[in-house]
Amino acid sequence: MNDLKQLPMTKQELGGEADFVIISGDAYVDHPAFAAALIGRVLENEGYSVGIIAQPDWHSADDFKRFGRPRLAFLIAPGNIDSMVNHYTCAKRRRSSDAYTEGGVIGKRPDRAAIVYSNRAREAYRGVPIILGGIEASLRRFAHYDYWDDKVRRSVLSDSGADLLVYGMGEKQIKEIAKRLSNGEKVNDIRDIHGTCYMTSDISEISQQKDSIVIDSYDDVALSKDKYSAAFMVQYTEQDPIRGKRIIQKQDRQYMVANPPAMPLSQKELDEVYELPYTRLAHSSYKQEIPALKEVKFSLTSCRGCFGACSFCALTFHQGRIVQTRSHESLIREAKELSKQKDFKGYIHDVGGPTANYRQTACKKQLEKGACKDRQCIGFKRCPSLNVSHSDYVSLLRKLRALPKIKKVFVRSGIRYDYAMYDRDDTFLRELVEHHVSGQLKVAPEHISNRVLELMNKPDTELFDKFVLKYNQLNAKYGKEQYIVPYFMSSHPGSDLNAAIQLAEYLKKTGMRVEQVQDFYPTPGTLSTCMYYTGRDPRTNEKVYVPKTQSEKDMQRALMQFYMPQYRNKAREALLKAGRDDLIGTGKNALVPPLLNKTAQKADRKGTQKSDKRSFDGRKQKANTNRMGKKSGKRR
């Protein structure tokens, strides 16, 4: 594996003309988890020469000329994370690090990288086609609410001036685009590839076709939240490669046309993509590590897509609801290759994807008719047609852990506990506990208020409690000291102070200490973001309470961490505001103690300063308390 060549980052390394130049917002890591590497290797495998300009200096066009004029196109890949999310917390504060940059340094990419990179590429070489892709393009392809500007922005295709936008994972689209450009077709004539968007001034031929839907224009949705909500629901429900329709939306004087999503890759195609000759290393020019590589270097991607459809998750808009899986044989070959790396210690860190324990489509009819337009597969309610089986995943994990040089195979990308509980055969849960947990199992109940959970499209709390009980029983059976790391979210639409207090009481009752609190982050392309902006559930048009002030967000967060001294005052404020002073005191049900006298306050502040060193604000708890409220001799 180490004898393989990386894709070139300089003209000298390339040694000739570049057919395609990829402009990447991330450092170049030759690993399939990094978009530039994956698309670059796909094109290389098709016979094209590819150069990568990773995190160029965007203050002028000079760095964009590194390879000279590309023969076919510039490919803009802003990064594995939307550049605004990459740069700012949900409180709109500048982040201090970037996991996709050498040494974790922040600031190596611009805000709104898709727009900036496209403009600089155009400035560098006029007339060269510009193809925009990646998560930033996928989620911003329509007129969308932008949390950072607090307004509706145009399609990123319109704002960037790119010639084509590729949404979704992109392998099929980029191969077809490359073929047609290489055959001499003009980029402005490439209008029929599924999974792409383009701008046009004339929709007379396509707007009347049965497979086309014209939604309200950018001007209309920017002025009317009702129209925004209606337009979003069309985008959301038509996100299907089999039954989805072409969507047209006017952007000022032109129209943005979004063709239906591309068909999912077959198992053979997915295997081929992940078995391309990746070195799995950062480019040799880097002297410091790329933090994001550490998380995936010894992990296996076994699936794509997710039929979970959590309201706050953007996967529906990017990978879609139809699950695609790699073959056992392909994953075994990759595991064997990983075991040859000199720094491999015998541990496969993960075997998963968006949801680790999804290894087949939700039901058979998805492959024939697509995912249902008016029904979810799983979530607050389970579809009766849901196919629940872990037999394939169990078989895969057994094969992997039986390989030579493999000491342990972990499942760390997170499982859907509801899907596991729906399986009448508990073999998966038993073997998960016995063989595949690294001390902590990550699960995401997200909340415990049924009103909030329904808006999130997450299962009710009763099922989570049953899962916790089952998990603890299995650990006791196998003599394991393993814990659940529950993830909860504060300030999601629908969560008022009463709902936050309900969650705090649940944490107190169960003895849970949340390791990480995530405030709801209104990112482009999600159902929850539409709720946040419009104040309504677009599925029902019912009003939804939305916590928007930083003061209330801080109170909801403090309620989830009521036991920490630095959050007591804010938690008291929340309880008093909600009229729940019965939870302030020293009784067994109290969340926080009464307001202290001056001497006690001074002592409390000293405790707070010490506690700040182990703050939960985006970092892991360093306290010696396990996640279900029991004392442990060491941190797990």
**What pLDDT is stored for residue 604 in this prediction?**
54
Look up residue 62 and give its two tokens: 């000079």
CA distance 421 to 463: 8
What digits encode the pLDDT tens for the residues 463-485? Answer: 999 999 999 999 999 999 999 98
CA distance 446 to 373: 25
Average pLDDT, stretch 35-39? Answer: 97
Helix axes of 550-560 and 568-577: crossing angle, nearest 10 degrees? 110
What digits encode the pLDDT tens for the residues 567-584? Answer: 999 999 999 999 999 999
Q: Which CATH architecture has domain 11-198?
A: 3-Layer(aba) Sandwich (3.40)
Global pTM value: 0.91
In 3D space, the residue among 491, 485, 619 whose CA is nearest the CA of residue 546 turns out to be 491
Is the pLDDT at 109 greater than 90? The verdict is yes
Average pLDDT, stretch 291-317? Answer: 94
DSSP 554-617: HHHHHHHTTTSGGGHHHHHHHHHHTT-GGGBSSSTT-SBPPPP-HHHHHHHHHHHHHHHTT--S
Look up residue 95 and give its two tokens: 């982040």
**What pLDDT is stored for residue 602 in this prediction?**
58
What digits encode the pLDDT tens for the residues 216-246? Answer: 999 999 999 999 999 999 999 999 999 999 9
**What pLDDT is stored for residue 516 in this prediction?**
73
> Do 11-198 and 298-438 come out as alike in CATH topology?
no
In 3D space, the residue among 231, 229, 152, 227 whose CA is nearest the CA of residue 536 turns out to be 229
Distances (CA, A) of 564 to 382, 511, 519, 577: 37, 14, 17, 20
**What pLDDT is stored for residue 599 in this prediction?**
54
CA distance 111 to 122: 18
Segment holding 247, helix H or strand E: strand 246-251
Is the pLDDT at 250 greater than 50? The verdict is yes
Q: Which of 188-197, 278-287, 309-318 has the lowest mean pLDDT?
A: 309-318
Question: For all residues of the chain together, what is the average pLDDT?
Answer: 92
Position with higher pLDDT, 621 vs 266: 266
What digits encode the pLDDT tens for the residues 319-344? Answer: 999 999 999 999 999 999 999 999 99
CA distance 464 to 460: 7
Is the pLDDT at 634 greater than 50? The verdict is no
**What pLDDT is stored for residue 630 in this prediction?**
37
**What pLDDT is stored for residue 603 in this prediction?**
53
**What pLDDT is stored for residue 624 in this prediction?**
29
Q: Which CATH architecture has domain 442-636?
A: 2-Layer Sandwich (3.30)
In 3D space, the residue among 549, 545, 531, 548 whose CA is nearest the CA of residue 225 turns out to be 531
Is the pLDDT at 367 greater than 90? The verdict is no
Pairing of strands 151-153, 50-54: unpaired
CA distance 118 to 130: 7
Residues 6 or more apart in contact with residue 402 via CB below 8 angstroms? none
Domain ranges of the chain: 11-198, 298-438, 442-636
Exposure b/e, 476-514, CB count within 10 A at least 16 = b: eeeeeebbbbbebbbbbbbbbbebbbbbbbbbbeeebbb
**What pLDDT is stored for residue 317 in this prediction?**
86
Three state DSSP letters for 20-59: EEEEECCCCECCCCCHHHHHHHHHHHCCCCEEEEECCCCC
Is the pLDDT at 122 greater than 90? The verdict is yes
Amino acid identity at 19: D
**What pLDDT is stored for residue 606 in this prediction?**
53
What digits encode the pLDDT tens for the residues 591-629? Answer: 999 986 555 555 555 544 444 333 333 333 333 233 443
Q: In percent, how much of the chain has pLDDT > 70?
A: 93
Q: Which fold has domain 298-438?
A: Transcription Regulator spoIIAA (3.30.750)
What digits encode the pLDDT tens for the residues 343-353? Answer: 999 999 999 99
**What pLDDT is stored for residue 608 in this prediction?**
45
Q: CB of 536 within 8 A of CB of 542?
A: yes
**What pLDDT is stored for residue 4 in this prediction?**
80
Amino acid identity at 292: A
